C-alpha cells in the first residue's frame, strides 16, 4: 500500500506532505522521517466545522468549547503522498534565475489570529512570526511558540519567505468560544503567578520581621542583664558600707561600756572571754597585709572629707555631687579635653570642692595631675581609666545615698 503520510521518528507526529515535514523539522530540529501508511486524521466538529488532526486536538477543542460531536473524514482526505521535494523556483538551462535571487515577502497568516495576538499586546512582527512558524494552527500554539522563543534575537523582526511560499491555504481560525477560553486560561495563569509571587514576598517580609524582632529582644536582654549587674554591684557596696558602719558602732559601744565600768569602779570584763571578732582579728593579724586598692583609697578619702566637715552635711553632699559630675563627664566623653581639665582658681570649684579637705585628693586618685605650677588639674587622655572612673562614680553614689557613710 502506498504511503499516505510522513511520520516523525523522533516524536511520532503524522504529516500530510513534504512541506509540512520541512516546517516540522524547522520548528523542532527533528530530522528522522519515514513514509507511513497511517493517514492523518481529519475529525471535523459538527457544531463549528473545525477540523482536528488528532485525538488530542479534538479533546482540546472539546475542553475549550464543549463541542463533543465529530465526523471522521479521514478516508475522504487521505491521498498518496508525494516524496518529491518542492523547488523554490525554476532554473533555465542557460543560466536562469537562482534561489538566491528569489523575491522574499512577508508570509500570509490568519488575519483573525493576528488581530487577537495584537490585542493581547504582542507586536505585529512577533505575532506574524509566531503564527507562521506554528503553522497558523491556533492562538494557543502561537502563544506557546512566543514563550519558547522569547529570547531569540530576531523575534521582533518580520519574517520573510520566498514569493512562491506566500500562497498557502489559511488554516481555520478559532471560534469565539475557543478564543475566550484561551484568554481566560492565560489570565488565570497570570493571576496565579502573581498570587504566588505575592505569597513569596510576604514570606520574605515575615522572615525579616522575625529576624529584626529577635535582634531587638536580644539587645534588650543584654541591656537588662547589664543593668541588673550594675544594681547588684551597687547593693553589695552599700551592704559592705553598712556592715563596716555597724561594726564601728559596735566597737564604740564596747569602748563606752568599758569606760562606764571603769568610772563606776567595776572590774573589767574577764579577759579570758575571747569574742569571735577578736579571734578573727588575731587570726587576721598573721595574714600578710595587702596594699589598699584605688577603690578603698577613694572610699577612705570620701570618709575623711565627711568626717572633717561633719558639721555641714549640705556642703559635703554638694561636694560629692560636684565630684560625681566631674567623674561622669570624663567617663562619658573621654576625648573631650574640657572635661579633663579643671582650673583650681575657679571660684565655683573652690567653693564646692577645693576648699574642702580631701576633694582635690579624690580627683588625684582618679588620675588627675597638677600642671602649670599647680594651678590646673589635668587628666591626660592616655591615663583615662574607665574602670577607675566607674568605681569612683559608684563610691560617690554610695556616699550620697548611704545614711551610714562616714558616721564614725
286 pLDDT band, cuts 50/70/90, is very low
Cβ-Cβ contacts under 8 Å for 28 (sequence gap 6 or more) = 8, 10, 11
Mean pLDDT of 304-311: 84
Q: Residue 106 is part of a domain; what is its CATH number?
A: 1.10.8.10
Residue 397 lies in a domain: yes
Rounded to an integer, the average pLDDT of 250-259 is 88
For the stretch 203-241, pLDDT in tens is: 999 999 999 999 999 999 999 999 999 999 998 998 998
Inform me whether the pLDDT recorded for 170 exceeds 80. Answer: no
Grid cell 505585529 in the structure block, residue: 124
Name the more confident of 41 and 283: 41
Residues 105 and 73 in one domain: no
What's the rounded Cα separation, in Å, for the pair 92 and 302? 124
Are 297 and 383 part of one and the same domain?
yes
Sign of CA dihedral 81, 106, 171, 129: positive
Identify whether residues 326 and 386 lie together within a single domain.
Answer: yes
How much of the chain is helix, strand and coil, in % rounded to 5? Answer: 55, 10, 35
**Averaged confidence pLDDT in the chain:** 80
pLDDT band at 82 (very low <50, low <70, confident <90, very high): low
Q: Which of 88-92, 144-148, 336-340, 383-387 has the lowest mean pLDDT?
A: 88-92
Tell me how far apart the alpha carbons of residues 34 and 4 are, in angstroms, rounded to a whole number. 11
Position with higher pLDDT, 347 vs 177: 347
pLDDT above 90: percentage of residues in the chain: 17
What's 394's domain CATH number? 1.20.58.2190
Q: Are residues 235 and 309 in the same domain?
A: no
Q: What distance in Å separates the CA atoms of residue 342 and residue 324, rounded to the nearest whole number? A: 14
Q: Do residue 242 and residue 211 come from a single domain?
A: yes
375 domain residue, yes or no: yes
Highest-pLDDT range among 53-57, 264-268, 323-327: 323-327
Residue 188: inside a domain:
no
Q: Which domain holds residue 50?
A: 1-83
Where residue 372 falls (left for φ over 0; alpha for ψ -120 to 50; beta otherwise) is: left
Among the residues of 149-175, which ranges form H helices? none
Indicate whether 301 and 386 sit together in one domain.
Answer: yes
User: What phi and psi, each to the nearest 5 degrees, are found at residue 193?
Assistant: -65, -40
Sequence-ordered alpha helix ranges (H) in 333-385: 347-349, 359-365
The answer, yes or no, to whether residue 98 has pLDDT greater than 50, is no
18-26 contacts, C-beta under 8 A, 24 or more apart:
18/81, 18/82, 18/83, 18/84, 18/85, 18/86, 19/86, 20/135, 23/133, 23/135, 26/133
pLDDT at residue 372 is higher than 70: yes
SS3 377: strand
- Quote the CA–CA distance of 21 and 11 in Å, as a whole number: 12
Would you say residue 182 lies in a domain? no
The grid coordinates listed for 220 are 534588650
Domain count, the chain: 4
Same domain, 139 and 210: no
Tell whether 302 and 385 lie within a shared domain.
yes
Residue 210 inside a domain? The answer is: yes
Question: Which pLDDT tens digit goes with each residue over 24-36?
Answer: 777 777 777 777 7
CA distance 359 to 322: 10
Amino acid at each position: 500500500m502506498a504511503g499516505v503520510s510522513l511520520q516523525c521518528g523522533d516524536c511520532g507526529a503524522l504529516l500530510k506532505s513534504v512541506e509540512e515535514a520541512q516546517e516540522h523539522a524547522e520548528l523542532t530540529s527533528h530530522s528522522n522521517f519515514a513514509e507511513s501508511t497511517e493517514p492523518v486524521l481529519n475529525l471535523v466538529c459538527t457544531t463549528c466545522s473545525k477540523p482536528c488532526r488528532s485525538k488530542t486536538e479534538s479533546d482540546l477543542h472539546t475542553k475549550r468549547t464543549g463541542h463533543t460531536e465529530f465526523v471522521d473524514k479521514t478516508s475522504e482526505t487521505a491521498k498518496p503522498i508525494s516524496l518529491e521535494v518542492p523547488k523554490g523556483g525554476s532554473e533555465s538551462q542557460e543560466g536562469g534565475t537562482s534561489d538566491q535571487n528569489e523575491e522574499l515577502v512577508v508570509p500570509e497568516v490568519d488575519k483573525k489570529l493576528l488581530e487577537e495576538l495584537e490585542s493581547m499586546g504582542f507586536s505585529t512582527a512577533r505575532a506574524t512570526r509566531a503564527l507562521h512558524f506554528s503553522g497558523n494552527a491556533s492562538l494557543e500554539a502561537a502563544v506557546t511558540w512566543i514563550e519558547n522563543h522569547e529570547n531569540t534575537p530576531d523575534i521582533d523582526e518580520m519574517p520573510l519567505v520566498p514569493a512562491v511560499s506566500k500562497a498557502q491555504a489559511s488554516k481555520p481560525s478559532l471560534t469565539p468560544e475557543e478564543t475566550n477560553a484561551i484568554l481566560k486560561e492565560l489570565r488565570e495563569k497570570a493571576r496565579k503567578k502573581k498570587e504566588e509571587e505575592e505569597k513569596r514576598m510576604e514570606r520574605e517580609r515575615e522572615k525579616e520581621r522575625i529576624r529584626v524582632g529577635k535582634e531587638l529582644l536580644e539587645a534588650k536582654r543584654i541591656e537588662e542583664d547589664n543593668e541588673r549587674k550594675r544594681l547588684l554591684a551597687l547593693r553589695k557596696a552599700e551592704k559592705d558600707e553598712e556592715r563596716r558602719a555597724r561594726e564601728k558602732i559596735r566597737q564604740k559601744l564596747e569602748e563606752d561600756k568599758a569606760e562606764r565600768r571603769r568610772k563606776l569602779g567595776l572590774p573589767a570584763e574577764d579577759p579570758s572571754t575571747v569574742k569571735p571578732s577578736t579571734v578573727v582579728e588575731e587570726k587576721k593579724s598573721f595574714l600578710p597585709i595587702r596594699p589598699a586598692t584605688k577603690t578603698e583609697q577613694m572610699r577612705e578619702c570620701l570618709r575623711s572629707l565627711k568626717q572633717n566637715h561633719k558639721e555641714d552635711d549640705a556642703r559635703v553632699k554638694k561636694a560629692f555631687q560636684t565630684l560625681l559630675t566631674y567623674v561622669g563627664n570624663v567617663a562619658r566623653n573621654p576625648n573631650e579635653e574640657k572635661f579633663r581639665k579643671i582650673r583650681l582658681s575657679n571660684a565655683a570649684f573652690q567653693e564646692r570642692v577645693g576648699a574642702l579637705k580631701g576633694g582635690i585628693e579624690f580627683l588625684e586618685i582618679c588620675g588627675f595631675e597638677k600642671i602649670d605650677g599647680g594651678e590646673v588639674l589635668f587628666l591626660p587622655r592616655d591615663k583615662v581609666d574607665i574602670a577607675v572612673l566607674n568605681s569612683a562614680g559608684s563610691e560617690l553614689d554610695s556616699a550620697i545615698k548611704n545614711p551610714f557613710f562616714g558616721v564614725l
